[in-house]
Amino acid sequence: MRVLGIETSCDETGVAIYDTERGLLAHRLFSQIALHAEYGGVVPELASRDHIQRVLPLIHETLAAANLSLSELDGIAYTAGPGLIGALLVGASIARALAWGLSIPAVGVHHMEGHLLAPMLEANPPSLPFVALLVSGGHTLLVDVPRIGQYEVLGESIDDAAGEAFDKTAKLLGLAYPGGPLLAKLATQGQAGVYHFKRPMVDRPGCDFSFSGLKTAALTAWQQSTQTEQDKANIAYAFEEAVVDTLFIKCRRALEQTKRPTLVVAGGVGANRKLRERLNDLKAQVFFPRLEFCTDNGAMIAYAGALRLQAGAAELPIIQARPRWPLVELEAI
Ligand code: KG4
Ligand code: ZN
């Protein structure tokens, strides 16, 4: 089964074709970073309008790269939520229209299920059951995964997501958008031991997170410093250390609690080098997607959709998107 995947939930237009026998055939991405940079964050209406312009050319490019025509597709998968409603509706509309025109099924994919399954696209995929750490700009979740589609949330952020904390702290330190990767880069110039930020919520039982206090701690440190470039790098270093250490502690706890032998890490913050290094210290097998599939992409949506279509997912041909959509509402496949 050959499935076209379309991702338009935020500021990246991603398209891919996944073949259940041959694997990933082609994938293309257009990032809107330059479009939103001058506003310091994603402007939802601009995002929707740009998806409209990008999605069809990207579909044609991806088909050409896979040496396929539209008539050779067997199904379409699109991100149906969570995300920005206008942006989601672009992907949902084009997917439904194409499926209708081609008389093939379409399925709405949960964006976080897409992230969670992204490590399955690698040559050495994890086997089930596992614990998943999902760390993106909108979510920080620890999830127990006994089987695909059955997700038990072990812990989540009670305020900012990890990526959001990276982005907001970067902004406070005067870095450009999107701040996460820039803050991580700046942290490589920082000195260890100059600042130390408390690891939030590690002294409480459970696997929930709270990252908003770290952002305030970083701001206070910056305001009380002499505000040199080295101060900034030292604060970035301490902030990244605190986030990574907190994620490490909670992952260790989730693995102990569930007795699962495997941890899967996904979502944009999963691209963070420090986090990848540190989580490899866990007494578990740890799986990450390749860097380009940590952040938003069409491949993870094509893959997750292919699994659901293969399992017989059937949906009414109506254009639907859900800006909020709890992961636990999904059905096991
Ligand atoms: O998964 P993603 O592409 O989009 C969402 O679904 O939110 O994640 C984007 C988030 C942003 O907050 C971005 O700053 C963060 O992931 N991010 C990073 C790094 N690369 C991306 N954060 C820290 N270090 C990185 N290297
Ligand atoms: Zn995402």
Q: Are strands 23-31 and 12-19 parallel, antiparallel or unpaired?
A: antiparallel
Measured in Å, residue 73 CA sits from the centre of ligand 1 at: 31
136 lines ligand 1 (CB under 6 A): yes
Measured in Å, residue 304 CA sits from the centre of ligand 2 at: 14
**For residue 140, what pLDDT is reported?**
97
Q: Give the phi and the psi of residue 278 in degrees, each rounded to 5.
A: -65, -45
Task: Report the topology of domain 2-117+296-329.
Answer: Nucleotidyltransferase; domain 5 (3.30.420)
- pLDDT 10s digits, 164-195: 999 999 999 999 988 999 999 999 999 999 99
81 lines ligand 1 (CB under 6 A): no
Measured in Å, residue 112 CA sits from the centre of ligand 2 at: 7
**Dist CA 92 CA 97 (whole Å):** 8
Measured in Å, residue 298 CA sits from the centre of ligand 2 at: 10
**pTM for this predicted structure:** 0.97
Q: Which atom of ligand 1 is nearest to the CA of 295?
A: 3
231 lines ligand 1 (CB under 6 A): no
Q: Is 128-288 the same fold as 2-117+296-329?
A: yes
Helices (H), 259-297: 273-279
- pLDDT 10s digits, 62-99: 999 999 999 999 999 999 999 999 999 999 999 999 99
155 lines ligand 1 (CB under 6 A): no
Task: Give residue limits of the domains in the chain.
Answer: 2-117+296-329, 128-288
**Dist CA 161 CA 12 (whole Å):** 19
Task: Report the topology of domain 128-288.
Answer: Nucleotidyltransferase; domain 5 (3.30.420)
Give the confidence band of 327 by pLDDT, cuts at 50, 70, 90. very high
**For residue 121, what pLDDT is reported?**
98
**Dist CA 177 CA 6 (whole Å):** 24
- pLDDT 10s digits, 260-282: 999 999 999 999 999 999 999 99
